[in-house]
Amino acid sequence: MSITVVGSIAYDAVRTPFGERRRMLGGAATHFALAASFFDTVRPVGPVGGDFATEDLRTLSVRGTITDDVVTVPGGETFFWSGVYGDDLNSRETLATELGVFADFQPRLSPAARACEVLFLANIQPSLQASVLDQCDGPRFTALDSMNLWIETARAELIAVIERVDCVILNDAEIRQLTGRHTLPDAARELLELGPEAVIAKQGEYGAALFTRDGFFSLPAYPLVSVVDPTGAGDTFAGGLVGYVAAARERTVSRELLAGAMAYGTALASFNVQEFGTERLARLSFDEVHARVAELHRFTQFEMPLLKETV
């Protein structure tokens, strides 16, 4: 059993109030894989250029991740993203996006990647996401991410993919933008009507919310006194979430299962932002993750107040 993730493997240049990195391993599939690898065998699918360093391939291979579907394009350049974060780390400006080998990326999954039990379509062109779905042999659970660019330029294709997956994982602003609805519950309800069993809204420092046809669940972010680099937090969250679903091996994706999955995703994302890029996840232990999930549990549980009388 395994998890296939299709998405970018990249180099990032990032500046935050706490420092900078000129060229570090990044990309959606990378952050996802480093998180999901705690739970099951991960197969990232994506292209890199001839400039991709073997030590970065080693980092990507941590905890049993199989990189057979990471295709090197000789002479090509690895996808490069550069951005700078504002003082509050909630706003960021993209300085450069150089697609490199990602510009001509046409996913061709190996038989092992096609046979995945769980599939995550990271943020890539929606028609490519559809092509990946076509190639897979009916995964038990499928989830996707996307971004404002595709909502604006490929809305119909994106809607068509959403209709085919079990779970949509987007930022809350993207969910509103996609549906044009004022409130998140209204927007999520509209997405659920397209077919998915679950819509999960990523809310950054505020946490995440789960909408199902008959339920709602909300979890705060793990409270951190200092955040060093938010890059990849969303993909790390998705990696923990989807990895947990894979590990649980349940046929039915219940609200209870997804709540636990969100707790692991949240804990993993909190470690991710405490250092630059993949630095913290690369040397994280599962005991550390589990301890933070236990803290999140304590931070959110309360006795139902029994007060029933008024004065």
Residues that bind a second copy (CB under 8 A): 17, 38-41, 63-64, 87-89, 176, 182-186, 189, 203, 205-207, 209, 216-220, 223-227, 244, 247-248, 256, 259-260, 263-264, 286, 290, 293-294, 297, 299-305, 307-308, 310-311
Q: Can you tell me the distance from the alpha carbon of 240 to that of 42, in angstroms, rounded to the nearest whole number?
A: 12
Q: How far is the CB of 268 from a second copy (least distance, A)?
A: 13
Among residues 55 and 87, whose Cβ is nearest to a second copy? 87
Spatial CB neighbours of 252, under 8 Å, sequence gap ≥ 6: none
The number of C-alpha atoms within 13 Å of 228 and in the hemisphere containing its C-beta is 15
Among residues 104 and 216, whose Cβ is nearest to a second copy? 216
Q: How far is the CB of 190 from a second copy (least distance, A)?
A: 10
Beta bridge partners of 216: 211
Q: Is 221 exposed, middle or buried (0-12, 13-18, 19+ CB in 10 A)?
A: buried
Q: How far is the CB of 292 from a second copy (least distance, A)?
A: 12
Among residues 9 and 89, whose Cβ is nearest to a second copy? 89
Q: How far is the CB of 147 from a second copy (least distance, A)?
A: 19
User: b/e per residue, 281-297, with b = 16+ CB within 10 A?
Assistant: beebeeeebeebbeebe
Q: Can you tell me the distance from the alpha carbon of 72 to that of 21, in angstroms, rounded to the nearest whole number?
A: 24
Alpha-carbon dihedral sign for residues 277, 282, 284, 286: positive
Among residues 82 and 203, whose Cβ is nearest to a second copy? 203
Among residues 106 and 301, whose Cβ is nearest to a second copy? 301
Q: How far is the CB of 36 from a second copy (least distance, A)?
A: 10
Give the residue from 144, 201, 199, 206 showing the smallest Cα distance to 172: 201
Q: How far is the CB of 124 from a second copy (least distance, A)?
A: 26
Among residues 13 and 259, whose Cβ is nearest to a second copy? 259
